[in-house]
Amino acid sequence: MFVNRMPRYEILSEDAVATLDRGWRRIVSEIGVEFVLPEAVEVFAKAGQKTEGQNVVLDPDFVMEQVAKAPREFDVQARNREHDVHLGGEHMVFASVYGPPFVREGDTRREATIEDFRRFAMLSQHFPQLDSAGGTICEPNDTPLDSRHLDMVYALQTLTDKPYMGSVTSGPNAVDTIRMSEILFGGREAIEATPVSISLINVNSPLRYDDRMLAAMMEYVRAGQPVVITPFLLMGAMSPVSIPASLAQQLAEAFAGIALAQLVRPGTPVLFGSFLSNTDMQSGSPSFGTPESALGLLCTGQLARHYGLPFRSGGALTASQTVDAQASYEAMMTMLPTFLAGVNWVMHSAGWLESGLVSCYEKFIVDIEILRMLKEEFTPLEIDEDSLAFGAHEEVGPGGHFLGAVHTLERFRDCFYRPLLSSTENYERWERNGGNDATARASLLWREALDEYQQPPLDDAIRDELQEYVVRRRAELGD
């Protein structure tokens, strides 16, 4: 887990923040937000909010009262307590790619399988730059739709010992995640004392929460498990073609969901989520790694701090179809502002390709390299008498060189960043070694990582109980 002690990059003036505050208040009080789950509407009605069918018109001051109940910081435990994470403040927690139905392996693009899911979970465990494998690292299309969430949660619980994300495709799927978490951590009391999973609740933007996500959200909140309330905004499609308008809509949607969570269980941990980019106005396709998405990310970070909420955003996003220069510079265009904004929970940190349609093995390694470099860059520089190395100047003197100096010989092994993926060979040596570009080298590295992977230990009785639960529930679901 990385602690980002560098100054935050804030671009909004006090007047701009005040204008955005007025903007979201007007949306919730004059237009309202739809909740396509009767239970959610009833919760708001009982709290004195105006409801008409699925639409809930909210008093902004009431919303702020609920948002204020959410903790500014909280912990999530892992089954290996050395991998516990802290959300909020200066802490940054990185999770793998989430959601793609396809996989790219070298030149091959195909439907994702459960074996791909397991391999990505193993890679997430192997690389210390990732604090979590995430949740749906890819969508295993070779397993039954109704029960594949069981296989995914089981893989996350057994192939990694880091925190994981829960299934959110329905209320019953959320219940399965909670039950399996109780088995793994020793009961309901244990997971409520310190949560063990984080779950992504996307808004069906604009201004609507669907019934399946809401049902899952209600289950997790009742169990005291953190939820990431995330408006899904592609400007020009799900929000207006304006960054300020989208920011105001994002606040309205997120605050409405956070208010619901606090009404169900006051004090439940939440993260203010942001997934904000733009639509290509020529093709209609989503764009990622754009200047607009970077600006939106920086603004969201400032707004989250203003309202006292831990937040999720950023990642190594790209619209590129393959692991090329576009994939790398777009990933850096979102990961750099992710650090500048001090995002607390970073999804899609490794492996995202093709606008989120593809989980890619080679891109996974490229993104790990980006993470390694940025963590080094955002570690504050220590300046003291020892680091000034005056003795080295005394030894070398004017016109000399420092290659053989005592100061250099004592420090050369770890004085500079050593890349995982990048090549610094001269041309002749690079050519003799195969002339591999970064993508080819990444292919070798992820395979080596899987060969080196070591499955974290787990008590046999717990493993057996988890397996029995998966088998029983699969049979109950008809799969």
Task: Please name the residue ranges forming H helices in 381-457.
Answer: 390-396, 406-411, 427-432, 438-452
Q: State residue 92's pLDDT score.
A: 98
**23 CB contacts (<8 Å, ≥6 apart)?**
244, 245, 247, 248, 251, 252
**Cα–Cα distance measured from residue 261 to residue 171, given in angstroms and rounded to the nearest whole number:** 15
Q: What's the DSSP call for residue 81?
A: G
pLDDT tens digits, one per residue of 420-478:
999 999 999 999 999 999 999 999 999 999 999 999 999 999 999 999 999 999 999 99
Contact 346, 103 (CB under 8 A): no
Contact 448, 362 (CB under 8 A): no
Sequential DSSP letters for 430-450: HHHTT---HHHHHHHHHHHHH
Low-confidence ranges of the chain (pLDDT < 70): none
For residue 52, the number of C-alpha atoms closer than 13 Å in the C-beta half-sphere is 6
Task: Please name the residue ranges forming H helices in 342-479.
Answer: 361-377, 390-396, 406-411, 427-432, 438-452, 460-476
Contact 374, 334 (CB under 8 A): no
Q: State residue 150's pLDDT score.
A: 98
Q: What's the DSSP call for residue 70?
A: S
Q: State residue 479's pLDDT score.
A: 82
In terms of DSSP bridges, do strands 85-87 and 345-346 run parallel, antiparallel, or are they unpaired? unpaired
- What the chain holds in terms of domains, given with CATH numbers, is 2-9+67-377 (3.20.20.480)
Contact 220, 189 (CB under 8 A): no
For residue 48, the number of C-alpha atoms closer than 13 Å in the C-beta half-sphere is 6
Q: For residue 39, what are the CA distances in angstroms to 207, 411, 455?
A: 18, 63, 42
Beta bridge partners of 73: none
pTM listed for this prediction: 0.97
Q: State residue 456's pLDDT score.
A: 98
